[in-house]
Structure 1
C-alpha cells in the first residue's frame, strides 16, 4: 500500500478547510486509516462505526483486539450520540478540559449511532475525548464521523510525537499521514472512568489528578497504577507499551551510582545509553547521553520522552539507564510511561 503524506501548516482553527484535510477525510469515509497529529501524540484514525475500518487499525499496529480504542469527536453534541447518560460531573469536566488531553469513560449508547464493537472490545463502556489540535478537529469535523484513534505506532513501541515516527512504524501499512509538526503534551491523554460515584484515573496523562480534583472533588486512582500485581481495570493497561528496542532500567539513585552501573556494563563491551535531564547531562560518561528535558520543568520531559526513547533505538545501544523523576503533577504520567517502557525494571541504590 502506498502511504500518502500531507504536510499541513497547523495554524488555523476548526473551520479552516485545507485541501489536504479534505483528501484525508474522504479516505476516512471510505474506511481507510489515516494518521494525524493531536496535542498529545499522533493518532491512527478510522471510522468508529465500521468494523472494516477499525480492523485496519488493529492490523496496522499489531494491536491486541481486547485493547479498546478511544473515540475522538470534534463537537460536544457528538457525545450525546455515543453515550447513554452524561453525569453532572462530566459536564463540569467537559467544560473545563475539552478540547484537551482528557479521555472520559462512560456507558455507551445502545441505540442511535452504533459504534463498532471492536472499538469498545465488547465492553459496555466507551472512551471518548475531544483533541485540542486544529488539524485533528478539522479532520474529524470534515469526515462527519466519530473517529477511533489509538497512537499511530507499532503496538508496544514508543508513541509517535513526530510524523517521521509514524512513517518509520507504519509506512506502507496505512492510507495516509498528515504531518502537522511536533505534538504538544507529548504523552497520551489522562483516562478517567466516570461510570461510578467517584471518578477513577485509569491512565495518568496530560491532565493531572490535582487539576481534576479542583473540578470534581475526590478522584481515585486505579490500584493497578499503584501496585504492579493488581489487575488493571482498563484492558489495554495490561500490555507492555512504549518500549525501546534495548532493555531499559529506571535507576532510583544519584548520578555517581548510575555512572557505576554504566561503567560496569561498558567494561563488558556493551554500548550503554543514559537518559537524563539538562541539569545532569555533564555528570555521565557513556556511549550515548540524551537529555529529555529539565527537572525544573517536567512538561519538557513529557514532551520529549518518546522521541528520546526512539533516538536510543536509532543509535543501536545495547541497554539504557534512565534517571527517575518526581511523581508530582505530570511526573506521575512520566513515571507511568517509563515503568511500562522498562517492564517495571527498577534499580534502587
Structure 2
C-alpha cells in the first residue's frame, strides 16, 4: 500500500483545505488515516464501518480485546453514540472539552463491536487540536483512533514517528507538526455516580475532582487481569527498543547504578528532568524538561531516540505521581522492564 503524506503545518490555507478534503474522502471510503491530536497522533477510521476499523488492528498489530476511543467534533455527535450520562458529565464536558479527556459511556450500538471490544460501553472524546477538529468536521464521521504506532511501541508525537512505524500499512498521514500534551487522554468511566479514572492522562485527577466533586481510580490500573475497559489498561505499552529501568533514588544513587552497569560492559542511556541529567554522566543522555508537563510532552520522543546498537539499557528517574506525574509514571511503568528502589 502506498501511504499518502500531507504536510499541513507548513502549507498555505488552500493547501491545508485540499489536504483535509483528501484525507476526509479516504476516511469516508473506509481507509485509515493518521492525524495529530493535542495528545499523540491517532490512526483514524470510520467507527461505524467494521471493515475500516479492522484495518486499524491489522496495521498496528493490536489485540482485538483492546477497545478504541472514538473522536468527534461536537457534543451533539456524542449524543448520537451513547444512551445516557450522569449530570457530572455535562460539567466535565463544559470544563475540559475540547481537550484530552475521554468519557466511557453506555453505547447505543451505533459504532461497531470492534470499537467497543464487545463491551456495552464506548469511549468518546472531542480533541482540541485544530487539524483534528478540521478533519472531524469535514468528514462528518465518528472516527475511531488509537495511537498511530505499532502496538507496544512508544506512542507517536510527530508524523515522523508515524512514518517510521506505519508507512505502507495505512492510506495516509496528515502532518500537523509536534503534538502538545505528549501523553494520551485521561479516560474516565462515567457509567456510575462517581467518575472512575481508567487511564491517567492530560487531565489530572485533581482537575476532575474540582469539577465533578469526587473521583476514584480503577484498581485495574495496577493489574492486568480481566477484559480492559479502556486502552492502556492491560497490555505492555510504550516500550523502547532496549530495556528500560525506572530508578527511584537520589542523583547519586542513579549515577552509582550507571557506573555499575558500565563496569559490566553496558552502554547506558539516561533520561530525566534537566536538573537531574546535569549531574549524571552516561554514554547518552536526554533532558525531558523542567516541569512534569514538559516531561510528558518529551517522553515518547525520548523513548524512541534511544536505539538498539547505540545503548544497551536506559535508566530513567522515577517521578512524583502528583498531577501530571501520575500519567507519566503510568506510561513509564508500562514501558519498563524493571523498577528499582534505592531509597
Normalising by structure 1, report the TM-score.
0.94
2:287 to 284, 291, 301: 291
Question: What residue number does 1:103 align with?
Answer: 102
Q: Distance in 2 between matches of 1:315 and 1:211?
A: 42
Matched, 1:333 2:332: no
Cα deviation digits, residues 84-142 of structure 1 (max 9, x gap): 013211111111111000000000014xxx21110000110000000001110111111
| C-alpha contact (below 8 Å) 1:70/1:103 kept by paired residues | yes
Question: What residue number does 2:3 align with?
Answer: 3
User: Deviating runs (4+, > 3 A) in structure 1?
Assistant: 10-13, 227-233
What's the secondary structure of 2:211's corresponding residue? Answer: helix
Q: Which runs of 5+ in 1 are unaligned?
A: none
Give the length in aligned residue pairs: 340
Question: What residue number does 1:305 align with?
Answer: 299
1:156 to 152, 158, 163: 152
Question: What residue number does 1:37 align with?
Answer: 36
| C-alpha contact (below 8 Å) 2:149/2:161 kept by paired residues | yes
Matched, 1:267 2:230: no
Q: Distance in 2 between matches of 1:131 and 1:276?
A: 28
Q: Distance in 1 between matches of 2:230 and 2:141?
A: 25
Pair 147,10 (structure 1): closer, same or farther in 2 beyond 3 Å: farther
Question: What residue number does 2:68 align with?
Answer: 69
What's the secondary structure of 1:211's corresponding residue? Answer: helix
Which structure 2 residues correspond to residues 1-349 of structure 1 after superposition, within 5 A?
A: 1-9=1-9, 18-110=17-109, 114-225=110-221, 227-228=222-223, 234=229, 236=231, 237-294=233-290, 297-313=291-307, 316-343=310-337, 345-349=338-342
Q: Displacement of 1:285 after TM fit?
A: 1.6
Give the RMSD, CA atoms, in angstroms. Answer: 1.8
Pair 203,151 (structure 1): closer, same or farther in 2 beyond 3 Å: same
Q: Which runs of 5+ in 2 are unaligned?
A: none
Cα deviation digits, residues 209-252 of structure 1 (max 9, x gap): 11001111110001133x44765752641100001011111000
Q: Displacement of 1:313 after TM fit?
A: 2.4
Q: Distance in 1 between matches of 2:12 and 2:320?
A: 36
